[in-house]
Amino acid sequence: MPTGGKLVSTGSHDSFSFYIDEASPVGPEQPETVQNFVSVFGTVAKKLMRKWLATQTMNFTGQLGAGIRYFDLRISTKPRDPVNELYFAHGLFSAKVNEGLEEINAFLTDHHKEVVFLDFNHFYGMQKYHHEKLVQMLKDIYGNKMCPAIFAQEVSLKYLWEKDYQVLVFYHSPVALEVPFLWPGQMMPAPWANTTDPEKLIQFLQASITERRKKGSFFISQVVLTPKASTVVKGVASGLRETITERALPAMMQWVRTQKPGESGINIVTADFVELGDFISTVIKLNYVFDEGEANT
C-alpha cells in the first residue's frame, strides 16, 4: 500500500478564506500601507480587499466532501482582544479556530477511514500562552485521532487505519518539538513561486519537485498564482478569481495531468478555488496511474 509520500492528495490554499469578516480589524501581518488604506477608506477598502484575499468559496465541510484532504491554516490573535481568542487570518480575520477544527472533526467522526493534513504554517501576534491554548484545543477536539510524528516514509494508510489515526498536524514553530503529536513544519515544505506568470509557475513547480528528491518528507506543490500590487490595481473590482485564477487554470491543469506520484513526483497539490474545473478529480486520478505502474513493475 502506498505510503504518505507516494500518494497524491488534494489541498486548498488559505483553506479558511471562504469567510472573511469585513467588520474585523486588519491583520497584524499587513504592511503599514494597507493599514493606512483601510483607516482612510474603511469598509469600502475591506470589501475590495476581500475580493483578493478570499481564495476559496467552499467551507471546510464542502471542501472535505469534494475531496480536499490538506488544509493550509494561518492563525492570529486580534489586537487588544481581552479573551485572547484565536482566529484564522489572511489580511482580514476569518472564523474562530475552534469552530473550523470542530467542523473538520465532525466529518472525520462520520468517515472513519478518512485522513487529513492540518498545516499550521503562519502565526501572527501569538505568544507562548496562545500556542499552549492552540495545542490544548487540538487535544480536546481530536484526541487519539492525531498521529504522533514519525518518519514520513513510515506513514501508510494501512498504518493509520490500524491505529485509528485520522489527523496529521504540522506546526511551523519550535513548539512542535515539545509536543509528540505535532509534526515539525520542515516535514511539510511548501515552496512558493510568488509569480503571476503561469509559465514561470510551472517552471518553478517542476524544479521544486526535482529538489524534493533530497528531502525525506511530505511535499506541497502550490499551483497558485500570486498577484502583484499592479495586478490588484488593474483588476481591483474584479478580484483574484476572475483576474488570475480562471484565466490561468487550463495551463496549470495541463501541468498537473502530466505529473506522477511517488518519491520523485508530486505529493500534495494545493490550489485556489478548488472547485474550478476538474482540479480535485484530476489530482486524485493520479493515484490510480501510480497503482497501475506499481502493478507493472
For residue 271, the cross-strand partners are 12, 223
105 or 234, greater pLDDT: 105
Mean pLDDT across 21-34: 72
pLDDT of residue 145: 98
Is pLDDT of 1 > 50? no
pLDDT at 263: 79
Q: Which of 55-59, 70-74, 215-219 has the lowest mean pLDDT?
A: 215-219
Instruction: Tell me the three state secondary structure of residue 93.
Output: strand
Grid coordinates representing 18? 471562504
Dig out the grid coordinates for 187 from the structure: 516535514
In the predicted model, what is the mean pLDDT of the chain?
88
Q: What is the pLDDT of residue 295?
A: 44
Q: Which of 168-182, 233-247, 254-268 has the highest mean pLDDT?
A: 168-182
Residue 10 pLDDT grade (very low, low, confident, very high; cuts 50, 70, 90): very high
Query: Given this model, what pLDDT does residue 151 score?
Result: 85
pLDDT of 35:
61
Measured at the alpha carbon of residue 278, what is the angle toward residues 276 and 279, in degrees to the nearest 5?
A: 75
Centroid of chain to Cα 234: 27
DSSP annotation string for 230-286: HHHHHTTTT-HIIIIIHHHHHHHHHHHHT--BSTTSB-EEEESSTTSTTHHHHHHHH
Active site positions, annotated:
13, 90
Torsion of CA 157, 159, 163, 169, to 10 degrees: -60
Checking if the pLDDT of 296 tops 50, the result is no
Q: DSSP code of 3?
A: B
CA distances in angstroms from 108 to 74, 114, 175, 236, 248, listed in the order given: 21, 6, 25, 38, 33
pLDDT digits (tens, 9 = 90+) for 85-96: 999 998 889 999
Half-sphere exposure of 34 (CA within 13 A, CB side): 18
Asked if residue 293 has pLDDT above 60, the reply is no
Cα atoms found within 13 Å of the Cα of residue 83, Cβ hemisphere only: 4
Confidence of residue 2 (pLDDT cuts 50, 70, 90): very low
> Which comes out higher in pLDDT, residue 295 or 172?
172
Buried b / exposed e along 161-176 (16+ C-beta atoms within 10 A)? eeeebbbbbbbbbebb
C-alpha 110/C-alpha 100 separation (Å) is: 16
- Flag the least confident range among 107-111, 113-117, 152-156, 231-235: 231-235
Does the pLDDT value for residue 5 go beyond 80?
no
β-strands 268-271, 70-77 pairing: unpaired
Mean pLDDT, residues 161-180: 97
Which of left, alpha, beta for 12 (phi over 0: left; psi -120 to 50: alpha)?
Answer: beta
Q: What is the mean pLDDT of residues 157-184?
A: 97
pLDDT band at 50 (very low <50, low <70, confident <90, very high): confident
Q: Tell me what pLDDT residue 297 has.
A: 36
**Parallel, antiparallel or unpaired: strands 220-223 and 268-271:** parallel
Query: Containing H/E element for 186?
Result: none
Q: How confident is the model at residue 52 (pLDDT cuts 50, 70, 90)?
A: confident
pLDDT reading at 139 higher than 80: yes
Write out pLDDT tens, residues 181-199: 999 999 999 999 999 999 9
